[in-house]
Chain A
């Protein structure tokens, strides 16, 4: 549905994005993840034909953003970082206006308005002035605006920024519900959001794509060992050697604990499940097993690791490479 090919954008001397390429399939939800200033908004603005790219191009629903911008614009709903609303208008006046300029045929405007109001839960405030609405409602008006013409593609720039936790959950549910029918690209710097909503993640840092993949595969790529956290009643009795003798266990990392309890992280070879042997050993030793849980690596770790690794690579290129501290 969306094909981005070697996109680059230069603001004077500053290279905002460089050689960005990715594709999004129909019905997929893609998260565009990166720290502030990574080039997320720039990429989105290029995709929506708001600004032209310096190099490369992109296709949306088969139409090139340079050759057929009108066709692209007709098929895209865009929610910029700040919802583009007129505070002096009421919600339904505003949405009607947007429907008209997006080319919704006149007889269908009423239905489009009703469905957008319903999907975004705006029925109660449809007659209120947008200027008097709270940030959360305004964001929803922005979202309603993006989907009023039932576009194939929705591009949402930080759709949950500035909302309270309850609203964040509502908006995420809404976005999830829209996937499948619409192809969605959303940007965020909040990692759990990508985890909660998206199937595919593009991580961007300093204008370059660092990784493109599904979230599970990204985690697997970064993970170097299986980690299990174990909590026992009698911390003073723990003898790490007993655990190290289990086949596959590589390392025991003691953690701070309270009330005489003991907490430690067991690192095992990747792909080997040592939980059964581990629990047996702990119980037999009589340490009083309280809790045992595998530590799944979060997207947060992936993100930090990828964005800092990238930096490491650049530094390594500049200076003679120091020995990487990776233990076998």
Chain B
């Protein structure tokens, strides 16, 4: 455990030194704030229409109309930027020949993989924490339901774990950061496409399988405010799968 923290601390140090994390945070915040802003605009139009319609207007729910689409959009942006957060982790060690240091130190491969993963997850959590200004800002002008927001953030955090573990796996495959990023784009977009296929193939048994595999669907449950063991299991098991594959790749490279 001590070793994992030491390794994570080193990775965090490198994250804060390099400009990547800062640039990513800025771009992510700009895009997600813009999307939030347009959603707020849509919501205000909708609510003024509802006011004009008087009593027989449909129920409009702030969380449903404002936060849910924002978080789902955010997940697409995350899908595009997360590979950039993980591409360095193993590729750079291999290129700089520092793998030799790690592998000849009394560390297990599990410790190395977990150290890197935790550091990346911590950076991701910070990135999400920065978006908290949206509900906080809104809570000054209207009533915000915090409980579904907690569930939404938990969902985003868990989904990020999947993105990061897949990115880590991609990074362990190559010593070229760009190649690592492209591979993890491929994997993540694959998950996204599964979601789209699930929509078109609905009702068949194939559709059901795809439905279960789709990342966005599971995230949507969290965003709606539901915390299901089914979704928890899905995210955690995919994360563990990514970490396990990474472990295998790093181990196998010793034997080449």
Q: A residues within 8 Å of B by Cβ?
A: 11, 45, 48-52, 70, 73-74, 76, 78, 80, 82, 84-89, 93, 97-98, 100-103, 145
Contacts and interface: CB of A to CB of B under 8 A. Distances in A.
A102 B100 contact: no
Contact of A70 (B10, B14, B96, B106): B106
A103 B13 CA distance: 20
Given A52-B255, A70-B106, A102-B106, A84 B100 contact: yes
Contacts of A93: 13
Nearest to A80: B100
B14 A82 contact: no
B107 interface: yes
B18 interface: yes
A205 B99 CA distance: 27
B142 interface: no
Given A85-B98, A97-B6, A76 B254 contact: no
Contacts of B3: 100-101
B193 to A, nearest CB: 36
B129 interface: no
Main secondary structure of the interface of B (DSSP, over half): helix
27 contacts: A50-B100, A50-B254, A51-B254, A52-B254, A70-B106, A73-B105, A74-B106, A80-B100, A80-B101, A82-B97, A84-B98, A84-B100, A85-B98, A86-B14, A86-B98, A87-B96, A88-B14, A97-B10, A98-B101, A100-B3, A100-B6, A101-B6, A101-B102, A101-B106, A101-B107, A102-B105, A102-B106
A49 B255 CA distance: 11
5 shortest interchain CB distances as A-B pairs: A84-B101, A84-B98, A73-B106, A48-B104, A100-B6
A276 B36 CA distance: 100
Size band of the B side of the interface? 20 to 34
A103 B98 CA distance: 18
Contact of A49 (B6, B96, B104, B256): B104
A145 B102 CA distance: 12
B104 A76 contact: yes
B254 A101 contact: no
B113 interface: no
B97 A84 contact: yes
Contact of B106 (A51, A86, A97, A103): A103
A101 B7 contact: yes
Contacts of A52: 254-255
B103 interface: yes
Nearest to A103: B106
B93 to A, nearest CB: 9
B118 to A, nearest CB: 15
Nearest to B255: A52
Contacts of A78: 100-101, 104
A97 B17 CA distance: 16
B104 A73 contact: yes
Interface in B224-256: 254-256
A93 B16 CA distance: 14
Contacts of A100: 3, 6
A93 B9 CA distance: 11
Contacts of A50: 100, 103-104, 254
B256 to A, nearest CB: 8
A88 B255 contact: no
Nearest to A89: B13
B97 A80 contact: yes
Given A86-B10, A102-B105, A103-B106, 16 more contacts: A49-B103, A50-B100, A73-B104, A73-B105, A78-B100, A86-B14, A88-B17, A88-B18, A89-B13, A89-B14, A97-B6, A98-B101, A98-B105, A101-B3, A101-B107, A145-B101
A156 to B, nearest CB: 13
B119 to A, nearest CB: 13
Contacts of B97: 80, 82, 84
Contacts of A86: 10, 14, 96, 98
A86 B97 CA distance: 9
Nearest to A145: B101
A11 B255 CA distance: 9
Contacts of A45: 100
A101 B104 CA distance: 10
Contacts of A11: 256
A94 to B, nearest CB: 9
A6 B255 CA distance: 19
A51 B97 CA distance: 14
A88 B21 CA distance: 15
A148 to B, nearest CB: 11
Interface in B28-49: none
Nearest to A97: B10
B122 to A, nearest CB: 17
Contacts of B106: 70, 73-74, 101-103
A7 to B, nearest CB: 16
Interface in B107-145: 107
Nearest to A70: B106
Contacts of A49: 103-104
A51 B255 contact: yes
Nearest to B18: A88
A95 B7 CA distance: 13
